[in-house]
Every structure is written in structure tokens, then in C-alpha cells.
């Protein structure tokens, strides 16, 4: 995400994506790879957008 996007917008986009993974998987073959369990794997050391980080912290994926 672009770092100048509003935190609340990125939070909502991230939330909608991970709360609708079944629909994404039905719409695209690679959609099955989008899971909350994989959300933060292999990303470091790239910093998360504050809005995405907020969602991941709520889900216990970040400290």
C-alpha cells in the first residue's frame, strides 16, 4: 500500500480482504493462497502500512 493512504482506509481494505478470502478464492485461482495465517509471513524487513499493521495486531500476528 502507498504510505500516504489514510490509516483507516488501509485498515478497512485489509480487514475486508482477510474476512472474505472464500470469495477471493472463488474468483481467482491463486486466491486460495490468501489466508490470515500467511498474511505476515515472508514480509520482513518491509514495514507494514500503519493501517494494515493495526489489523494484523488485532489478529495477534504482530506485537
State the residue range of the domain holding 19: 9-58
Q: Tell me, what's the pLDDT at 45? A: 77
- Domain membership of residue 4 (yes or no) is no
Residue 5 has pLDDT above 80, yes or no: yes
pLDDT tens by residue, 45-58: 788 999 999 999 99
Residue 10 · residue 51 · CB < 8 Å? yes
Residue 43 has pLDDT above 80, yes or no: no
In the chain, the number of structural domains is 1
In percent, the amount of the chain with pLDDT more than 90 equals 71
- Domain membership of residue 31 (yes or no) is yes
- Domain membership of residue 1 (yes or no) is no
Length of the chain as a residue count: 63
- Domain membership of residue 2 (yes or no) is no
| Prediction pTM value | 0.84
Can you give the C-alpha Rg of the chain in angstroms? 12
Amino acid at each position: 500500500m502507498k504510505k500516504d493512504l489514510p490509516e483507516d482506509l488501509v485498515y478497512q481494505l485489509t480487514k475486508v480482504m482477510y474476512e472474505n478470502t472464500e470469495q477471493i478464492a472463488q474468483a481467482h485461482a491463486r486466491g486460495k493462497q490468501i489466508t490470515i495465517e500467511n498474511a505476515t509471513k515472508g514480509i520482513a524487513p518491509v514495514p507494514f502500512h500503519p493501517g494494515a499493521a493495526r489489523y494484523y495486531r488485532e489478529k495477534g500476528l504482530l506485537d
